Amino acid sequence: MLAELRHVGLVALVCTLPVALLGALLLHHMRRYSITAAVTVLVLVPVAATLSGVLGVNGWMFTPVLRTELAVAAAVAAVSVPAGMLLGRGIAHELTWQREARARERAAESARRELVAWISHDLRTPLAGIRAMTEALADGVVADPAEVAQYAQRIGQQTQRLSGMVEDLFQLSRISSGALRLTLSAIPLGEVVSEALAAEALTAARKGVHLHAEADSGWPIVQGSDPELARVVRNLLSNAIRHTPPDGTVVLAAGARDGQAWLRVDDACGGIPEHDLERVFDLAYRGNPARTPVPAAQAGAGLGLAIARGLVEAHSGRIEARNHGPGCRFEVLLPLAPTPPSRSGPVTG
Could you give the percent of the chain with pLDDT greater than 70? 64
Contact, 302 vs 283, CB < 8 A?
Answer: yes
Cα-to-chain-centroid distance, residue 75: 47
Give, in degrees to the nearest 5, the angle at Cα 328 between 266 and 268: 70
Report the range of poorest mean pLDDT among 8-22, 132-146, 205-219, 331-345.
8-22
Tell whether the model's pLDDT for residue 89 goes beyond 50: yes
Question: Domain residue spans in the chain?
Answer: 2-99, 112-177, 185-335
DSSP 282-321: STT----TTSPP--TTT---S-HHHHHHHHHHHTT-EEEE
Which homologous superfamily does the CATH classification assign to the domain defined by 185-335?
Answer: Histidine kinase-like ATPase, C-terminal domain (3.30.565.10)
Residues contacting residue 327 through CB under 8 Å, at least 6 positions apart: 240, 243, 244, 248, 266, 267, 268, 269, 270, 271
Side-chain half-sphere exposure of 124, counting CA atoms within 13 A: 6
Taking alpha carbons only, the member of 335, 192, 185, 340 closest to residue 260 is 335
Q: CA angle at residue 219 from 216 to 220, to 5 degrees?
A: 110
Domain pair 112-177 / 185-335, same fold: no
Res 319 pLDDT > 90: yes
**Residue 75: is its pLDDT beyond 60?**
yes
- The string of pLDDT tens digits covering residues 50-72 is 767 666 666 666 666 666 666 76
Confidence of residue 237 (pLDDT cuts 50, 70, 90): very high
Measured distance CA(221)–CA(223) in Å, rounded: 7
Q: Which CATH number fits domain 112-177: 3.40.50.11260, 2.40.160.20, 1.10.287.130, 1.10.3720.10?
A: 1.10.287.130
The C-alpha atoms of residue 165 and residue 111 are separated, in whole angstroms, by 17
Q: How far apart are CA 298 and CA 242, in angstroms?
A: 7
Q: Summarize pLDDT for 138-164 with one digit per residue, the tens.
A: 888 888 888 888 888 889 888 888 888
* pTM as predicted: 0.60
Confidence class for position 182, pLDDT limits 50, 70, 90: confident
In a 13 Å sphere around the CA of 150, the CA atoms on its Cβ side amount to 7
